[in-house]
Structure 1
Amino acid sequence: MTCTLKHGISDYAFGEETACFAHAGSDFHRSLWDGISDAVLVFERTMEKPHYMNAATRNMLGGGSSIQAAVQLCEGGFFHDLMAEGAALDQAEATGSATFRTHPAFGGKRLNGRVMSTLNEQGELYFVAMFHVETEQESAEFLRKEVNSVITHELRTPLTSIKGALDLMKSGLVGPLSDKAQSLLNIAGANSDRMLSLIQEILDLNESAQAGPKPESEVIGIAGLLEGLVATHQGYGAYHGVDVKMRPTDAALQIRAVPAQVTKILSNLLSNAVKASERDQSVDIWAQQSGSEIAIFVRDHGGGIPAELRDTLFERYTKASWGNDRRVGSSGLGLNIVRTLVEQMDGTISFETQTGEGTTFRINLPAWS
């Protein structure tokens, strides 16, 4: 993009800020602005000329003069991105401030920041932009949000509608169905459930890798949590002919964590344990003190984890084989999510398995006292 600032940028001396920002030109205030690590740029919507830029702006753009830096910003599309329809300047003028992210024109990097609107004593509108070169973490976070948005709006929402329509047909509200039609609906419904489960696992995986503030943690009584989990999984176990039960656990055991995350971890392990079990077998869950940690165990009595999967069990897309004839869809993401969540809580996860005798997963989390 070719950009020409009005009145000729080369004719403007940046040491001669307009009266509106003359204070920025004093040695004291200039040192304050130059001490800010983010780039600072003051300009009008007309783009006649930037009124001020600090040292970080010039350094970010090669360390040349203010004139050279302004030309780089212009030719890189910085002002174009901010002025695009519905973009940052419109939002900042309407609400006072807005975040922005430019196209990757600055050494292949994007610029991230916030632009604020302000009026001078004469009521003239100016904008103050503070920005920096996008970090790898910010880039990954942006991509995560984009992926989640696409998955949610383009996959999960329409699939949920399809599942709802299938359930209505199965319920008989649209009239009686032949046995063959009912069988086809059951297959479609089961695959819809599987796809929705896969979509949720992908969203969970992206969420577990999210940068920034984490959900609030709270003190959790382990015994009560396990009792609730057993109650909610007994129906699932009964459907597969497996008894889900809790072994004795000290009611005084506590951890500090995010309840939803602990529930997600243990629910995954319990459902996997049920899948690994034969009919008339049991799945046990319990906890005990282990030094300064609480150890939580989930045990099944199935066929054990195949030797070829043991070294990569917690890696993405390692699909578990349950060692029985049960056909259960698996995305290979569940245990990777479990490990990620456990590590975020400063915990560890491990397992012991023996062919023909079953598997015990162990999670160690810091105890709360």
Structure 2
Amino acid sequence: MDFELSDEQNLLKDSVERFVKDNYSAEARAKLVETDSGFSRDHWKKMAELGWLGLPFSESVGGFGGTAIETMIMMESMGRGLVLEPFLTTVVMGGGLVAEAGSEAQIEAIIPEVIEGNMLLAFAYAEPQSRFDLHDVETTATKSGDGYILNGHKSVVYHGTTADKIIVSARTSGNARDKDGISLFIVDNNVAGLSRRDYRTVDGQRAADILFNNVKVGADALLGAEGKAYPVIEKIADRTTAALCAEAVGVMQAAIDITNGYIKERKQFGTPIGKFQVLQHRMVDMHMEAEQAKSMSDMVAMKLELDDVEDCRKSIAAAKAKIGQGAKFVGEQSIQLHGGMGMTDEYSIGHYFKRLMTIEMLFGNTDYHFKRYAAMA
């Protein structure tokens, strides 16, 4: 695919890569994983100063009016370092929902704070029974006076531990799997009736299971039109999936570089194992998977800026499925070529493998998106 970046986009790419190089050695990342929040507030402030947190938002609210291509550039570069800061959850997901569905007052109150690095967001969409279906929502929002009362259980809310506000999908009407009747609400993380179980995910990030027990919110907590949130959720899910595809490309490329360096140094019978032809062939296969993934990620980023929603959605399903396959292959081969060393926490390759396997599952795994693509095709 002929895909050339502009001068400004190349500057952005260089800037993110420099940030990763300066701040995300394997040792530095391991220390961040062990902290209470699981990421660095100083890094987050630095991202704000560099303008990255305002990248996808319109200039009218202090953003830079960036496109999906700029988001792809950032996610791919951050994937190389397994960056832990909540760019995906706060900017792409939470910020995207507010910018897309919010009232003028909600946008003015939240987006500038996100851009300045003063507010973190999380999106609580998944439930224990929902698997990958965004419309499978049993959490309810019942009208009470001039507000609503939320009850339900949201699972695996990434960065729900540290978010200042949580955007919650809840059912205001209809049956549990209806696409109509779903609404979005902006809820403070410390509101009465909300309880969390915080934990570390397998890839070293933070998530929470959140229970809503008669949580009262005002009418101003409603994000967008009541009962009409599903199209907005689907749109932001598509953009998030595209961002995850870009991140997977960066993770795969870094895993290949690490593995290539290892087999050049690791000796067997007095010879670097990288000279064995069978391992050279395996590295070529890994490179081919990464290049295919890169092409599909680039294609999706470009199609997100076009008006053909159905074609874009079909491309996203194809990309997530194919990149999921490639991520699994590259991750497994990287571990195998490292031998037993690859399974230890001391070696970085295991952490790249874990992140690839997590990305493969987020917003629909490989099988799910193959079926989704087949249904649309």
Q: TM-score range by the shorter chain?
A: under 0.3
* TM-score, length-scaled by structure 1: 0.28
- Larger radius of gyration between Structure 1 and Structure 2: 1
Q: Write 1 or 2 for the structure with the bigger share of helix.
A: 2
* TM-score, length-scaled by structure 2: 0.27
Comparing both chains, which one has the higher relative contact order based on Cα–Cα distances under 8 Å and sequence gaps of 6 or more? Answer: 2
